[in-house]
C-alpha cells in the first residue's frame, strides 16, 4: 500500500519519541512491503521559533492532504508567555483538531502483563484486569466555547456549549467501539458503555445524558449503558477499574479521566490516542505532553507514540495485521524486561534509553 503520513514532531520530548515511531513505521513498511511517504512538518513552539506561528499554513495544508498525521507533543515553558490564542496548545493542537474535524478521541488504557507491578493500584485490583477505552469528545465544550474576562480582568468565564448533533456523533463512535471490542474481547463480558457527565449540576450534561440514552434505546440496545457522574467515575477508576469497558465523555472530563486512567496502567508514557473525524486524515498522538523536565535526556518512553503509530495503521490505513504486529513487538520487548525509567519497577528489569527501546521494538518486529 502507498500512504502519505504527515509527521509532526513538535516540542520537548516530541522529536525524540516520534523518531522511534518513525523507525517502527519504516520497519513495518519493509516487513509488509508498503510504501509510506513520511514528511516532517514544524508544529508548536518549534514552528513559532522558525516562522512566528505554532501552526504554519504549510503544516495545516500537509495534514489535510495526508492519509494520516502522527504528532509528538507541543508546548513548553519557553512559549507560556505567548498570548493564549498564539500558544502551542491552542493555536497548534486545538486548531488542528477543529480544522481536521476530529471530534472523537480514542484513548485505550490497559495494563500490559509484564507491567502489572508498575501500577500504583493494589495487586488484587490489578488482577481483576484493566482494559478500557475512553472515547473523549474533542471539538466541543469548554475548550472551544466562548471565553473571556470582565470587570477589568477581575472576572472570567468559559462556556461549555454542546449541541445534540455533537453528542450523537461521538456517542455513536463509543457504541460502535463497544460492539467491536466485544468481538475481539480479551475478557468475556457484554459490551458496555459508561457515559460520564455531571448531570446533577450542569445543563449541558443533562442534554448529554438525554441524547445518549435516546440513541441507546433507538439503535444500541444490545450494548449495556450506564451513566456516572464524573466525580464518581474518577473514584471508580481507582477503586474498581475492571468495571469499565468503554467510557464516553465530553472534552474536559475526558482530558482529566484519561490522565488518571493512564497512571493506573503504570505510566502516562504508555497511552496512545487516535483522533478521528467523519472522514479524512486522523491524528495520532501519545496522550502525554512535551515533558520539558526530561527533554533531551534520552529517557522518555517512546511506547505511547509507537502504539499511536499502530492505531494509525489500524484506523487510517486499515492495516490491522500490521498494527497487531507492532503491539506484539511492544509486548515482546516488555516481556524481555526492557524498560524506560518511568516503567522500571524493581526486579529483573533492564533500564534502557528512548532509542534503545525503539531499536528493540524495531528488532522484535523484523525478527518475526
Ligand atoms: C491532551 C492534552 C491537551 C488537552 C492539552 C495539551 C491542550 O492535555 O491531549 O490530553 O487538554 O487536550
Ligand atoms: Mg490531557
Same domain, 177 and 304: no
Write out pLDDT tens, residues 47-98.
999 999 999 999 999 999 999 999 999 999 999 999 999 999 999 999 999 9
66 C-alpha to ligand 2 centroid (Å):
25
Average pLDDT score over the chain: 95
Specify the ligand 1 atom closest to the Cα of 258: 10
Domain-ending residue, one of 205, 229, 264: 264
Residue 115 located in a structural domain: no
Output the domain CATH number for residue 62: 3.40.718.10
Give the pairing type, strands 68-73 and 282-286. parallel
Write out pLDDT tens, residues 276-304.
999 878 999 999 999 999 999 999 999 99
Write out pLDDT tens, residues 140-193.
999 999 999 999 999 999 999 999 999 999 999 999 999 998 765 455 468 999
Which residues have C-beta within 8 Å of that of residue 156, sequence separation ≥ 6?
A: 147, 148, 149, 150
2 C-alpha to ligand 1 centroid (Å):
31
Residue 136 located in a structural domain: yes
Same domain, 158 and 229: yes
- Give nearest CA residue, ligand 1 atom 8: 255
Q: Select from 69, 89, 262 the residue to mutate for testing ligand 1; criterion: most ligand atoms less than 8 Å from CB.
A: 89
Same domain, 325 and 349: yes
Beta bridge partners of 39: 6
Same domain, 310 and 210: no
Same domain, 18 and 92: yes
Residue 113 located in a structural domain: no
Residue 23 located in a structural domain: yes
In 10 A of CB 140, how many CB atoms? 21
Residue 110 located in a structural domain: no
- In whole angstroms, give the CA distance from residue 55 to residue 52: 9
DSSP string, 180-222: HHHHT-SS----EEEEEE-TTT-HHHHHHHHHHHHHHHHH-TT
**Ligand 1-lining residues (CB < 6 angstroms):** 75, 89, 93, 255, 287, 289
Write out pLDDT tens, residues 97-144.
999 999 999 999 999 999 998 899 999 999 999 999 999 999 999 999
At residue 346, the pLDDT reads: 73
Q: Is 16 exposed, middle or buried (0-12, 13-18, 19+ CB in 10 A)?
A: buried
Residue 312 located in a structural domain: yes
110 C-alpha to ligand 2 centroid (Å):
17
- Does this model's pTM top 0.75? My answer is yes
Residue 346 located in a structural domain: yes
Greatest Cα-to-Cα distance within the chain, rounded to the nearest angstrom: 65
Same domain, 280 and 258: no
Same domain, 250 and 132: yes
Domain-ending residue, one of 229, 264, 299: 264
- Which of 303, 308, 304 minimizes the C-alpha distance to 288? 304
Residue 331 located in a structural domain: yes
- Within 13 A of 55's CA, how many CA atoms are on the CB side? 24
Instruction: Name residue, grid cell 516487513.
Output: 31
At residue 182, the pLDDT reads: 76
For the chain, how many structural domains are there in total? 2
Same domain, 15 and 29: yes
DSSP string, 328-344: HHHHHHHHTTEE-GGG-
Same domain, 144 and 83: no
Same domain, 208 and 294: no
Cell of residue 42, nine digits: 514544524
Q: Which alpha helices (H) appear in the chain, and where do they start and end? A: 14-32, 45-51, 57-65, 95-99, 123-127, 164-183, 203-219, 230-239, 251-264, 303-315, 320-335, 354-367
18 C-alpha to ligand 1 centroid (Å):
17
Specify the ligand 1 atom closest to the Cα of 285: 9
- In whole angstroms, give the CA distance from residue 282 to residue 294: 28
Domain-ending residue, one of 222, 248, 264: 264
Same domain, 79 and 20: yes
Write out pLDDT tens, residues 219-234.
999 999 999 999 999 9
Mean pLDDT of 338-344: 93
Same domain, 363 and 251: no
Catalytic residue numbers? 143, 198, 231, 255, 259
**Domain range enclosing 58:** 1-104+268-368
Amino acid at each position: 500500500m502507498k500512504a502519505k503520513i504527515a509527521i509532526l514532531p513538535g516540542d520537548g520530548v516530541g522529536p525524540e519519541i516520534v523518531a522511534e515511531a518513525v523507525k517502527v513505521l519504516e520497519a513495518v513498511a519493509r516487513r509488509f512491503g508498503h510504501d509510506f511517504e513520511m514528511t516532517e512538518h514544524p508544529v508548536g513552539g518549534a514552528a513559532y521559533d522558525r516562522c512566528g506561528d505554532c501552526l504554519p499554513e504549510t503544516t495545516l495544508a500537509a495534514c489535510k492532504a495526508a492519509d494520516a498525521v502522527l504528532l509528538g507533543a507541543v508546548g513548553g515553558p519557553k512559549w507560556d508567555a505567548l498570548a493564549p490564542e498564539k500558544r502551542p496548545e491552542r493555536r497548534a493542537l486545538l486548531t488542528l483538531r477543529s480544522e481536521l474535524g476530529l471530534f472523537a478521541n480514542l484513548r485505550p488504557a490497559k495494563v500490559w502483563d509484564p507491567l502489572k507491578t508498575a501500577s500504583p493500584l493494589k495487586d488484587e485490583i490489578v488482577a481483576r484486569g484493566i482494559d478500557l477505552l475512553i472515547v473523549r469528545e474533542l471539538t466541543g465544550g469548554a475548550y472551544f466555547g466562548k471565553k473571556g474576562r470582565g470587570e477589568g480582568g477581575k472576572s472570567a468565564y468559559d462556556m461549555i456549549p454542546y449541541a445534540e448533533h455533537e453528542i450523537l456523533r461521538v456517542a455513536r463512535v463509543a457504541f460502535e467501539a463497544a460492539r467491536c471490542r466485544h468481538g475481539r474481547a480479551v475478557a468475556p463480558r457484554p459490551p458496555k458503555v459508561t457515559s460520564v457527565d455531571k448531570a446533577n449540576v450542569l445543563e449541558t450534561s443533562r442534554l448529554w445524558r438525554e441524547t445518549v440514552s435516546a440513541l441507546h434505546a433507538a439503535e444500541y440496545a444490545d450494548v449495556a449503558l450506564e451513566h456516572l457522574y464524573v466525580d464518581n467515575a474518577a473514584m471508580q477508576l481507582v477503586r474498581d477499574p475492571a468495571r469499565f469497558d468503554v467510557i464516553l465523555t465530553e472534552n474536559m472530563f475526558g482530558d482529566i479521566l484519561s490522565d488518571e486512567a493512564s497512571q493506573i496502567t503504570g505510566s502516562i508514557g504508555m497511552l496512545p490516542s487516535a483522533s478521528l473525524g467523519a472522514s479524512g486524515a486522523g491524528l495520532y498522538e501519545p496522550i502525554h505532553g512535551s515533558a520539558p523536565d526530561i527533554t533531551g535526556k534520552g529517557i522518555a518512553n517512546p511506547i505511547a507514540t509507537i502504539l499511536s503509530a499502530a492505531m494509525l495503521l489500524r484506523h487510517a490505513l486499515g492495516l490491522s495485521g500490521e498494527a497487531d504486529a507492532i503491539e506484539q513487538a511492544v509486548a515482546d520487548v516488555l516481556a524481555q524486561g526492557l524498560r524506560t525509567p518511568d516503567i522500571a519497577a524493581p526486579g529483573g528489569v533492564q533500564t534502557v534509553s528512548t532509542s534503545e527501546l525503539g531499536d528493540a521494538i524495531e528488532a522484535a518486529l523484523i525478527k518475526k
